[in-house]
Amino acid sequence: MKPQRDGDWMSSSFDVPEALQKRVSTIAVDDLAKRGMRTVKVLDKAAILSLVDEAVEQVVATRLQNLDTEDRDKIREEAKSQFKKLVAERNSHQKEKQQAYEDRIENLRAQAVSLEEKLVQAESAKEEFARQAEEQTEASASEVLNPAVAPVPNPVIDSDQLKEVIKEAVAEAKGDTPSSSDAQMEGLKASIDALASKVTSGSSSRGSHSTGSKVIEPPTEEALVALFSKETGEKIENNLDQVEVKNAKAGGVSANLAKLKNLRKETE
């Protein structure tokens, strides 16, 4: 509906603040001073709006007095149908939102299920790998020369990306949803987050010597590459070259070097 200044005042709306905004002009205080103006009378937006309200009320009151019954009924009917129309519009909008929200929950649930499946896969691959590694370790002739164990191939899940999607979904869904389901949404988000991190950290591991309970998981190879490429991009501001680093001197290593070279020569 376009704002109208005159015509049927009941079925049109007039946006006073917008109209004000359109008509104001901005002049720098300095310019005013140049024109010789030393004081300015200021009327704030709220004052203008209340003035407009007052004027409209007065006009409506006087006009209503002059209306005959037929006109009055007509106006009442119009008002009623306008109101109904607004309610219907609002309801259908609400329904759409609700539907979108439910779709999203469904979607998140599906993601959770697929993550869970991937986790199970990763875990069984890990076990299988650990078993192989164990066999290798046992069979190996020398402990020192036995290399570390390679990471298990990772299921390709970018948990950050996933978390981002979930965050967006939650933020979006939150906007207009009934507040009673916020908690439900939060719960779901938390469990998906937990699951996602479990998948990432559970996805690569060295198998053989985990005698202790302490497990520190390395980032995935993708994460490693991402870190490196981030690192190469920007020049990092610092003052490191302006500050002296702690220095020390220690006994020479010439004797060690001589011994080592000698030993090597003798064994060649």
Partner 1 sequence: MGDFADYARKDFDKKKNVVASADKNDQKDVQFNVEDAKSFSAPEVAVPDTVVNTEVTAPVVSTGDTAVALGRGLDVGTANLVSSFQDASGNVNLKIQRNAFIDIDCDDYTRNMLTRLGVQYVVVNGRMVVVGDPAFELANIFNRNTRRPMKEGMISPDEADALPIEKMLLETLLEQPKTPGEICYYSVPAEPIDADMNVVYHQGVFGGLLKGLGYEPKPLVEGHAVVFSELAEDDFTGIGISCGGGMFNVCVSYKSIPALSFSTSRGGDWIDRNVASVLGISSSRACGLKEKGIDITNPNGREEEAVEIYYRNLIAYTLKNIKERFESSSSMPKFPDPISIVCAGGTSMIGGFTEVFKQEFEKINFPMDVKEIRLAEDPLYSVSKGCLVAALSESV
Three-class DSSP category at 204: coil
**35 binds partner 1, rule: CB under 8 A:** no
**Residues 79-118, mask of contacts with partner 1 (x by CB under 8 A):** ----------------------------------------
Cβ proximity to partner 1, 66 vs 254, nearer residue: 254
Q: Is 86:78 a contact under the CB 8 Å cutoff?
A: no
Q: Give the contact letters, 182-221, x = binds to partner 1 (CB under 8 A), - = no.
A: ----------------------xxx--xxxx-xxxxxx-x
Number of amino acids touching partner 1 (CB under 8 A) = 67
Considering the complex, state which of residue 180 and residue 247 has its C-beta at the smaller distance from partner 1.
247
Distance, C-alpha 259 to centroid of its chain: 61
* Per-residue tokens: 53: 């309200």
- Return the residue of 33, 113, 148, 194 that touches partner 1, per CB under 8 A: 148
Neighbours of 14 (CB within 10 A): 15
Name which of 156 and 236 has its Cβ closer to partner 1: 236
| Cα 14 to Cα 19, 61, 77, 81, 83, distances in angstroms | 8, 18, 21, 19, 17
Measured CA to CA, the distance from residue 217 to residue 152 in angstroms comes to 12
d(CA 71, CA 67): 6
Which has the closest alpha carbon to 162: 231, 107, 226?
Answer: 107
Indicate if the alpha-carbon torsion angle 109, 113, 114, 115 is positive or negative.
positive
Does residue number 156 form part of the binding site for partner 1 (CB under 8 A)?
no
Closest CA relative to residue 72, chosen from 82, 81, 64: 64
Q: Does 127 bind partner 1 (CB under 8 A)?
A: no
**Binding test (CB under 8 A) with partner 1, winner from 26, 66, 180, 247:** 247
159 binds partner 1 (CB under 8 A): no
Q: Does 131 bind partner 1 (CB under 8 A)?
A: no
Stretch that binds partner 1, among 9-17, 164-172, 184-192, 225-233 (CB under 8 A): 225-233
Residue ranges in contact with partner 1 by CB under 8 A = 136, 139-151, 204-206, 209-212, 214-219, 221, 224-225, 227-229, 231-232, 236-264, 266-268
